[in-house]
A = this chain, B = another copy of it.
Amino acid sequence: MYKNFPDAKILDVDLTSGNIKTRVLSGEVYRLYPGGSALGLYLILQEMDPKVDPLSPENMLVFSVSPLTGLPVSGTSRVTTTTKSPLTGTIGDSQAGGFFPMHLKANGWDAVVFRGRAEKPVYLYIDGDKAELRDAANVWGKVTGEAERIIKTELGHEDVEIAQIGPAGENLVRYASIINMCNRANGRNGTGTVMGSKNLKALVVKKGKGLKPYNPEKFKEFSKRVINMIKENPNIEGLGEFGTDGDLEGFSDEGFLPTKNWTTGYFPEGAKNITGTTMAETILKDRDTCYACAVRCKRVVEVPGIVDPLYGGPEYETAASFGSYCGITDLTAVCLANQLCNMYGLDTISCGATIAFAMECYERGILTREDTDGLELKFGNEKVLPELIRKIAYKEGIGALLAEGSKRAAKAIGKGAEELTVEVKGQELPAHMPQYKPMVGLIYAVNPFGADHQSSEHDTFLTLPKDSLPIQRLGKIGTYRTYDNPFEIDDDKVRYAFDTQCFYSILDTLNLCQFVWGPSWELCGPDETLELCRLGIGWNTSIFELMRIGERRINMMRYFNAKAGFTKKDDYLPKRLFEPMPDGPSKGIQIDEKKFNEAKELYYEFAGWDKESGNPTEATLRKLSLGWLL
Which residues A613-630 have CB closer than 8 A to chain B? 617-620, 622-623, 625, 627
Indicate whether A543 sits within 8 Å of B543 (C-beta atoms), given known contacts A602-B619, A619-B606, A623-B495. yes
Residues of B within 8 A of A618 (CB): 605
Residue of B nearest to A28 (CB): B480
A56 at the interface (CB under 8 A from B): no
Q: How far apart sit A128 and B542, CA to CA, in the bound complex (Å)?
A: 39
Indicate whether A476 sits within 8 Å of B622 (C-beta atoms), given known contacts A3-B466, A617-B605. no
A475 touches B1 (CB 8 A): yes
Q: How far apart sit A91 and B602, CA to CA, in the bound complex (Å)?
A: 28
A396 at the interface (CB under 8 A from B): no
B540 touches A543 (CB 8 A): no
Which residues A504-559 have CB closer than 8 A to chain B? 526-527, 540-545, 547-548
Residues of B within 8 A of A378 (CB): none
A481 touches B1 (CB 8 A): yes
Max count, chain B CB within 10 A of own CB: residue among A467, A480, A482: A480
Indicate whether A542 sits within 8 Å of B466 (C-beta atoms), given known contacts A605-B619, A622-B491, A622-B495. no
Residue of B nearest to A548 (CB): B478
A1 touches B544 (CB 8 A): no
A351 at the interface (CB under 8 A from B): no
What is the count of identical protomers in the complex?
A: 2
Which residues A446-501 have CB closer than 8 A to chain B? 466-467, 471-472, 475-478, 480-482, 491-492, 494-495
Q: How far apart sit A215 and B602, CA to CA, in the bound complex (Å)?
A: 41
How many residues from A make CB contacts under 8 Å with B? 43
Q: How far apart sit A540 and B469, CA to CA, in the bound complex (Å)?
A: 11
Residues of B within 8 A of A547 (CB): 544
Residues of B within 8 A of A491 (CB): 622, 627
Give min CB distance, A131 to chain B, whole Å. 31
Give min CB distance, A324 to chain B, whole Å. 36
Residues of B within 8 A of A582 (CB): none
Max count, chain B CB within 10 A of own CB: residue among A32, A477, A491, A625: A491
A309 at the interface (CB under 8 A from B): no
Indicate whether A2 sits within 8 Å of B475 (C-beta atoms), given known contacts A542-B542, A543-B542, A619-B602. yes
Residues of B within 8 A of A480 (CB): 1-2, 28, 31-32, 625
A584 at the interface (CB under 8 A from B): no
Residues of B within 8 A of A580 (CB): none
Q: How far apart sit A547 and B542, CA to CA, in the bound complex (Å)?
A: 11
B625 touches A492 (CB 8 A): yes
Q: How far apart sit A527 and B547, CA to CA, in the bound complex (Å)?
A: 16
Q: Select which of B31, B545, B606 is within 8 A of A623 by beta carbon.
A: B606
A608 at the interface (CB under 8 A from B): yes
Residues of B within 8 A of A545 (CB): 475-478, 543
Residue of B nearest to A478 (CB): B548
B31 touches A544 (CB 8 A): no
Residues of B within 8 A of A606 (CB): 619, 622-623
Give min CB distance, A468 to chain B, whole Å. 10
Residues of B within 8 A of A1 (CB): 466, 471, 475, 480-482
Which residues A1-52 have CB closer than 8 A to chain B? 1-3, 28, 31-32
Give min CB distance, A609 to chain B, whole Å. 11
Indicate whether A476 sits within 8 Å of B541 (C-beta atoms), given known contacts A608-B608, A622-B491. yes
Give min CB distance, A423 to chain B, whole Å. 29
Residues in A lying within 8 Å of B, measured CB to CB: 1-3, 28, 31-32, 466-467, 471-472, 475-478, 480-482, 491-492, 494-495, 526-527, 540-545, 547-548, 602, 605-606, 608, 617-620, 622-623, 625, 627
Which A-B residue pairs are the 6 nearest by beta carbons? A605-B619, A476-B542, A542-B543, A543-B544, A3-B467, A491-B622
Name 13 interchain pairs, CB-CB below 8 A, sorted by A.
A1-B475, A1-B480, A2-B480, A3-B467, A28-B480, A475-B541, A478-B545, A492-B625, A526-B542, A602-B619, A602-B622, A605-B608, A605-B617
